Amino acid sequence: MKIKSYILALSLLFISTSMRQESTTRLLRVLTYNIHHGVGIDNKLDLDRIAKFIVNNKIDIAAVQEVDSCTERTGKINTPSYLAEKTGMEFAFGGNIKFDGGSYGNLILSKFPILNCLNITLPNIDKGEQRGLQIA
């Protein structure tokens, strides 16, 4: 029930802000990106490639999925901090799973200040991989 309340509140906020009439138009570039813990289709771990993509495309806000933080398979790199530093963005990370000596979850990168963030683990009714909802 708590999750439905958050989703409803976010939906209402989105609707109310999108209905405002603005005298100037500003382009907001938003990206959703499943980085498969940083490994590309070439099977290489390359976080710099991901950061360059975000920077080169002038992304304002990136919602990034399948992010490792301090895991063995990524060499104990704190991927959220690394990508934030390489892109010059602020970040909020929500780990949904303890994994391989670290955690695995969702990341928000933003050119705008992140004032607050909340990570909610979603109900896991089929005992599969734990999913999460991140709000910032």
From residue 86, alpha-carbon distances to 7, 92, 123 in Å are 31, 15, 34
Please report which helix (H) or strand (E) contains residue 109, including its range.
Answer: strand 102-110
pLDDT tens for 74-92 read 899 999 999 999 999 999 9
Nearest Cα neighbor of 107 from 77, 76, 71, 136 is: 136
Average pLDDT of the residues of the chain = 87
CA distance 79 to 25: 34
**What residue ranges define each of the domains in the chain, with the CATH number in brackets?**
27-113 (3.30.110)
HSE-CB at 117 with a 13 A cutoff on CA atoms is 19
pLDDT tens for 8-41 read 555 555 655 555 555 677 899 999 999 999 899 9
pTM of the predicted model as reported, rounded to 2 decimal places: 0.78
**Amino acid identity at 84:** A
CA distance 135 to 6: 9
Q: Residues 59-80: what's their mean pLDDT?
A: 94
